[in-house]
A and B are shown apart, each in its own frame.
Chain A
Amino acid sequence: MGRHRHTVTLTINGETHDLAVEPRRTLLDALRDDVSLTGTKKVCDMGNCGACTVLVEGQAMYSCLLLAVDCQGLSVTTIEGLGHDGQLDPIQRAFIEADAFQCGFCTPGQVMSLRGLLDATPSPSDEQIERAVTGNLCRCGAYLHIIDAGRRAVVLDREAKEVRDVHVAG
Chain B
Amino acid sequence: MSTWQVERQEGEDGEVTLSVAEGTPLSPWDAGAALRIVGTPRTRLEGVEKVTGSAQYAYDVRLAGQLYAGILRSPHPHARLTRVDTTAAAALPGVHAVISLADAPDIDWYDDSKLFDPTLRFAGDEVAAVAAEDEDIVADALRLVVAEYEPLPFAIDIVAALAPGATPIHEGGNVESEKTYERGDVEAGLRAADVTFDRVLTTQTAIHHSLEPHGCTVAWEGEGVTVWESTQSIFDVRQQVAEKLGLGESQVRVIKQHMGGGFGSKQIVWKQTVIAALLAKRSGRPVQLMLDREGESLAVGNRNPTRQRLRLGATADGTLTAIDVTIHQAIGAHSAGGEGSNTAGLYQTLYACPNVRTSQTGVYTNTGPAVAFRAPGYVEAAFALETGMDDLARQLGMDPLALRLTNYTGDDQSKEMPFSQPDGLRACYEKATVAFGWGETIEQPAESHRRRGVGIAAHHWVGGAGDPPGYAWVKLNPDGRADIITGTQDIGTGTRTGLAMVAAEELGFTLDQVTFHLGDTALGPYAPVSSGSATMATIGPAIRAAAAEAKAELLAAAAAFLEEPVERLSVRDGLIRVAGEPEDRATPVAAVTGSMSPHMIQTQGARGGNPEDVSIQTFGVQCAEVEVDTRTGEVTILRVVAAHDCGRIINPTTVDSQVIGGVTQGIGFALTEERVVDAATGIVLNANLEEYKVPTVSDIPGIQNVHVGIPDLKANPTGSKGIGEPPLIPTAPAIANAVFDAVGVRFYDLPLSRSRVVDALAARERQGMPA
Residue positions of A touching B, CB distance < 8 A: 1-3, 22, 24-25, 29, 32-33, 36-46, 48-49, 51, 78-80, 82-83, 88, 92-93, 95-97, 99, 101-108, 111, 130, 133-134, 136-147
B contact residues around A40 at 8 Å (CB): 53
A contact residues around B263 at 8 Å (CB): 139
* A103: nearest chain-B partner, CB-CB: B492
Question: Could you tell me the distance between the alpha carbons of A78 and B53 in the complex, rounded to whole angstroms?
Answer: 9
B47 to A96, Cβ gap below 8 A? yes
B residues 663-679 in Cβ contact with A at 8 Å: 663-665
B493 at the interface (CB under 8 A from A): yes
* B62: nearest chain-A partner, CB-CB: A36
The verdict on A29 contacting B134 (CB below 8 Å), with A82-B52, A102-B661, A141-B665 known, is: yes
Q: In the assembled complex, how far is the CB of residue A30 from the closest CB belonging to chain B, in whole angstroms?
A: 10
A130 to B59, Cβ gap below 8 A? no
Q: In the assembled complex, how far is the CB of residue A126 from the closest CB belonging to chain B, in whole angstroms?
A: 11
B661 to A137, Cβ gap below 8 A? no
B152 at the interface (CB under 8 A from A): no
Q: In the assembled complex, how far is the CB of residue A6 from the closest CB belonging to chain B, in whole angstroms?
A: 14
A contact residues around B690 at 8 Å (CB): 44, 46, 48
Question: Could you tell me the distance between the alpha carbons of A44 and B210 in the complex, rounded to whole angstroms?
Answer: 11
Question: Could you tell me the distance between the alpha carbons of A103 and B209 in the complex, rounded to whole angstroms?
Answer: 13
The verdict on A136 contacting B261 (CB below 8 Å), with A79-B52, A80-B53 known, is: no
Q: In the assembled complex, how far is the CB of residue B620 from the closest CB belonging to chain A, in whole angstroms?
A: 16
Question: Could you tell me the distance between the alpha carbons of A134 and B290 in the complex, rounded to whole angstroms?
Answer: 26
Q: In the assembled complex, how far is the CB of residue A86 from the closest CB belonging to chain B, in whole angstroms?
A: 11
B258 to A137, Cβ gap below 8 A? no
Question: Could you tell me the distance between the alpha carbons of A155 and B189 in the complex, rounded to whole angstroms?
Answer: 62
Q: In the assembled complex, how far is the CB of residue B148 from the closest CB belonging to chain A, in whole angstroms?
A: 29
Q: In the assembled complex, how far is the CB of residue A114 from the closest CB belonging to chain B, in whole angstroms?
A: 11
B695 at the interface (CB under 8 A from A): yes
Q: Which of B260, B491, B654 has the most CB of A within 10 A?
A: B260
25 A–B pairs (Cβ distance < 8 Å), ordered by A: A33-B134, A37-B53, A41-B260, A43-B213, A45-B292, A46-B293, A49-B211, A80-B53, A88-B52, A95-B51, A96-B43, A99-B653, A104-B50, A104-B51, A104-B260, A107-B50, A137-B689, A137-B694, A139-B211, A141-B661, A141-B664, A143-B695, A143-B697, A144-B703, A146-B697
B residues 249-303 in Cβ contact with A at 8 Å: 258-261, 263, 290, 292-293
The verdict on A79 contacting B664 (CB below 8 Å), with A41-B59, A43-B689, A140-B492 known, is: no
B423 at the interface (CB under 8 A from A): no
* A150: nearest chain-B partner, CB-CB: B697
Partner of A102, one of B208, B212, B657: B657
* B665: nearest chain-A partner, CB-CB: A141
Q: In the assembled complex, how far is the CB of residue B642 from the closest CB belonging to chain A, in whole angstroms?
A: 12
B688 to A46, Cβ gap below 8 A? yes
Question: Could you tell me the distance between the alpha carbons of A147 and B212 in the complex, rounded to whole angstroms?
Answer: 22
B48 at the interface (CB under 8 A from A): yes
A143 to B261, Cβ gap below 8 A? no
B residues 204-263 in Cβ contact with A at 8 Å: 208-213, 258-261, 263
B696 at the interface (CB under 8 A from A): yes
B135 at the interface (CB under 8 A from A): yes
The verdict on A1 contacting B57 (CB below 8 Å), with A43-B293, A102-B494 known, is: no
- Not counting A104-B492, A141-B664, A144-B702, a sample of 6 additional A-B residue pairs whose C-beta atoms are within 8 angstroms of each other reads A38-B57, A80-B52, A80-B54, A139-B211, A142-B660, A144-B660
B111 at the interface (CB under 8 A from A): no
A38 to B494, Cβ gap below 8 A? no
A contact residues around B665 at 8 Å (CB): 139, 141
* A137: nearest chain-B partner, CB-CB: B694
B697 to A111, Cβ gap below 8 A? no
Q: In the assembled complex, how far is the CB of residue B310 from the closest CB belonging to chain A, in whole angstroms?
A: 29
Partner of B662, one of A29, A130, A141: A141
Q: In the assembled complex, how far is the CB of residue B311 from the closest CB belonging to chain A, in whole angstroms?
A: 34
B36 at the interface (CB under 8 A from A): no
The verdict on A92 contacting B52 (CB below 8 Å), with A102-B493, A103-B211 known, is: yes
B136 at the interface (CB under 8 A from A): yes
* B667: nearest chain-A partner, CB-CB: A141
A contact residues around B290 at 8 Å (CB): 42
Q: In the assembled complex, how far is the CB of residue B287 from the closest CB belonging to chain A, in whole angstroms?
A: 14
B211 to A41, Cβ gap below 8 A? yes
B698 at the interface (CB under 8 A from A): yes
B60 at the interface (CB under 8 A from A): yes
Question: Could you tell me the distance between the alpha carbons of A54 and B243 in the complex, rounded to whole angstroms?
Answer: 42
